[in-house]
């Protein structure tokens, strides 16, 4: 799928089974179930004969074969995530959430935002001044 759309859903096909030489079948997780032999199993099962392209196993066991591809973000985040989720979403939600993900901070930030809000404030941030400012703000 990476060749056709430059993005893959990073999950193994839970229904897919790898047929071994002895006729037994294993799920995708078998490739990485224990460290002993993992690299050899991935090399033998995930790649096509050319050693570069994904095999049928590689196309079905994308996560276990290590073929997940995440395009780079447009801009870096300011800091790493402190508590990453155990169950990340695979894409943006169809509609915004009704409540914020995080509660507002108790104190204002030390730096003003670099981009203004697209909607006006509910209440003014400061009381009106007694006289106009010398320069427009």
Task: For the chain, count helices (H), then strands (E).
Answer: 4, 2
Query: What pLDDT was estimated at residue 1?
Result: 47
The conformational region for residue 80 under phi > 0 = left, psi -120 to 50 = alpha, else beta, is beta
Q: pLDDT by residue (tens digit) across 25-38?
A: 999 999 998 878 88
- The secondary structure of residue 105, as a DSSP letter, is P
Alpha-carbon gap, residue 61 to 24, rounded angstroms: 17
Q: Is the pLDDT of residue 117 over 90?
A: no
Mean residue pLDDT of the chain comes to 78
Q: Is the pLDDT of residue 7 over 60?
A: no
pTM (two decimals): 0.46
């Amino acid at each position: 799928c990476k060749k056709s759309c430059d993005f893959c859903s990073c999950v193994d096909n839970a229904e897919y089974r790898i047929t071994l030489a002895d006729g037994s079948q294993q799920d995708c997780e078998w490739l990485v179930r224990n460290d002993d032999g993992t690299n050899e199993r991935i090399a033998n099962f995930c790649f096509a004969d050319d050693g570069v392209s994904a095999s049928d196993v590689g196309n079905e066991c994308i996560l276990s074969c290590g073929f997940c591809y995440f395009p780079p973000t447009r801009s870096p985040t300011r800091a790493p995530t402190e508590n990453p989720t155990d169950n990340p979403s695979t894409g943006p939600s169809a509609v915004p959430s009704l409540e914020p993900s995080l509660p507002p901070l108790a104190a204002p930030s030390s730096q003003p935002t670099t981009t203004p809000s697209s909607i006006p404030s509910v209440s003014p941030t400061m009381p009106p001044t007694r006289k106009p400012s010398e320069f427009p703000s």
